[in-house]
Amino acid sequence: MANNNQMAATSIKAGISFGSCLAMIISYTAWKSIFWAVVHGICSWGYVIYYVIKYYNT
């Protein structure tokens, strides 16, 4: 049982890290600002989903 919990925790951390990295890359590409890249990296997947909904459909 402990192994499953450990694997789940590792997967969640990897997903959060990937989401933060993706958000920072999208943000810096769009706005050319390190400050906003950091802010959007903190927002993580929320910013990625927002960006896709707002800008990807145009």
Q: Which residue has the higher pLDDT, 8 or 32?
A: 32
Q: What integer is the mean pLDDT of 4-29?
A: 86
Residue 6: its pLDDT value, please? 83
**pLDDT tens digit sequence for 25-58:** 999 999 999 999 999 999 999 999 999 999 887 5
Residue with tokens 């890359």: 25
Question: Which region, left, alpha or beta, applies to residue 33 given φ > 0 means left and ψ of -120 to 50 means alpha?
Answer: beta
Neighbours of 23 (CB within 10 A): 25
Q: Is 57 helix (H, G, I), strand (E, B) or coil?
A: coil
Q: What is the distance between the alpha carbons of residues 43 and 58, in angstroms, rounded to a whole number?
A: 23
Residue with tokens 């943000």: 27
